[in-house]
Amino acid sequence: MKIAVVQASSQVSKNEMLYEYTKKYAKDAEVINFGCFVDEDGNYTYVEIALLIGMLINSHIVDFVVTGCSSGQGMMLACNSMPGVLCGYVPTAKDAYLFAQINNGNVVSLPLGEEYTYTGEKNLEETIKALFSEPFGGGYPKSEAKRKIADAKKLL
């Protein structure tokens, strides 16, 4: 699996952390950091990044994208307006795990600024850890896995 990490410029200070945690927990994946980077001159909105994400997914350059913006909501909505993109909003580890197991989408959006208190980095790490804790699309709960997998396929 090829995974892209890219977030809006509003949260450029979180890029390296997002990239490092994705590499740490997506152990068998190739993780590519598309930025935005602290030393860049340009600033990119969540709408511009969502367009990039749509191109990365639809051209099959990557299979999955970890992204975010200040609230995570704008990026999720912008990504979901792109054809072929199924983006989940994952503010917690539980949301990330359920999205990966039930919805089996190709993009997750994290809230990188909203309520980012002293526990923000720990929550971000635990969320990414949960996201990649099992292969995607396994269904949840396991007793309902077959039905959940069939339902998720209707979205794509």
With a cut of 90, say whether residue 115 has pLDDT above it.
no
Structure tokens at 122: 């720990």
Alpha helices in 27-80 (DSSP H): 46-58, 73-80
Cα separation, 108 vs 50, in Å, equals: 11
Quick: pLDDT tens for 46-71. Answer: 999 999 999 999 999 999 999 999 99
Residue 156 is predicted with a pLDDT of 65
CA neighbor of 112 nearest in space, from 4, 5, 3, 18: 18
d(CA 112, CA 89): 11
Give the residue-averaged pLDDT of 127-141. 93
SS3 at position 121: helix
CB-based contacts of 100: which residues, under 8 Å, 6+ apart?
Answer: 130, 131, 132, 133, 134, 136, 137
pTM over 0.85: yes
pLDDT band at 139 (very low <50, low <70, confident <90, very high): confident
Q: Which helix (H) or strand (E) holds 68?
A: strand 64-69
